[in-house]
Amino acid sequence: MEDNFSFDEFMKEPIELFGYECGDGWLPLIEEAKKLVDEWNESHENGLSTWGGEKLQFVQVKEKWGELCIYLNFYPDHIFEKLLELSERSHHICEECGSTENVKIQDTHGWFMALCPKCREKEMKRLEAFHHEKYEPITTTKFEVEFELPNIEENKNENN
């Protein structure tokens, strides 16, 4: 029996396998990130050995919890800060059409998306047709999760 396993195929980055995993409305933000990466690579062409000989590149670009997430193979400080800014800006841009009018992050049947009213309505119709029921989404201007890390010292004292 022949084994068709390809290690090269197995080791591909998500960007190579899935492309951009978000709507077209965020393409201008992705283009800004691409420009930053290209500029960094051009300005560090002779000094790539500092970073293990690698060029800066996208590993994954996706929507997560209603915001744009851009993952790179490493993060020079100023680029990391710019990516955080782009991610924050994505909260106010419709992922589908790029509108900035009345954008809210909305639960779309367990998937949070930044949508304008027109795209929100279209998504609700799609969900209702798919699930054959009226769907009442959770809508917010920004999705936030708060949690508290356990105090390790307190836990040590309690266990002794």
Percent of the chain whose pLDDT exceeds 90: 45
In the predicted structure, residue 158 carries a pLDDT above the cut 80:
no
Q: What is the mean pLDDT of residues 10-27?
A: 86
Nearest Cα to Cα of residue 103 among 34, 29, 40: 29
Position 146 scores a pLDDT of 44
Residue with the bigger pLDDT between 14 and 67: it is 67
Q: How confident is the model at residue 144 (pLDDT cuts 50, 70, 90)?
A: very low
Instruction: Give backbone dihedrals phi and psi of 159, rounded to 5 degrees, phi first.
Output: -80, -15
User: How far is Cα 21 from Cα 18, in angstroms, rounded to an integer?
Assistant: 7
For 120, residues 6+ apart whose C-beta sits below 8 A from its C-beta are 104, 106, 137, 139
* pLDDT band at residue 145 under the 50/70/90 scheme: very low
pLDDT(2) > 90:
no
Given pLDDT bands bounded at 50, 70 and 90, which one contains residue 151?
A: low
Tens of pLDDT along 96-138?
A: 999 999 999 988 777 899 999 999 999 888 878 877 666 565 5
